[in-house]
Amino acid sequence: MNTFINTRYGKNKLTPKQILTDPVLFLAFGFGSGLAKKAPGTCGTLAAIPVYCLFAQTPLLVYSLLTIAVTLLGISLCGIAADKLGEHDFGGIVWDEVAGYLITLWFVPFSWQATLVGFILFRIFDIIKPWPIKWVDQKVHGGLGIMLDDVLAGIFAGLILLWIF
């Protein structure tokens, strides 16, 4: 039977149930979106859209504090999740995509157009990984390494988004 999710994840072969019932893994897997068999990073970024829509209703200072909190929490969250999975930067760990997408839209006024273009730009930078994103992805390890390449992708995408909007 071909499903949208795998039966086991990481070198430690965790089940979807183990991931969804563990609070750290549930968050690291982007509320379960990282369980997707295909394009978990894109699914994680899609899961970030409602988070962004919620945060976008707040003043810039609150949005900023929430985005910083999501990013800093992600360093520990992603590191612990990688340890539990037995695999560094496992594709299903998508909390970094959530943070990167929030960073992409940080200083852009809310609009559905910006939400969509920000999604596309962030995915392009996260997938292609131009320098220095690729260097960071290859050289920085642990939770910081998992998060930092997406933070940079978010910054690059956000700068272009600011220029467009």
pLDDT at 2 over 80: no
- According to the model, what pLDDT value does residue 3 have? 82
| Structure tokens given for 94 | 């998508």
Phi, psi of 159 (to 5 degrees): -65, -40
Residues 6+ apart with CB under 8 A from 147: 71, 74, 75, 78, 95, 96, 99
- According to the model, what pLDDT value does residue 162 have? 97
Each residue's pLDDT tens digit, 105-161: 999 999 999 999 999 999 999 999 999 999 999 999 999 999 999 999 999 999 999
- According to the model, what pLDDT value does residue 89 have? 87
pLDDT at 1 over 60: no
Each residue's pLDDT tens digit, 49-108: 999 999 999 999 999 999 999 999 999 999 999 999 999 889 999 999 999 999 999 999
Q: Domain locations in the chain?
A: 16-164
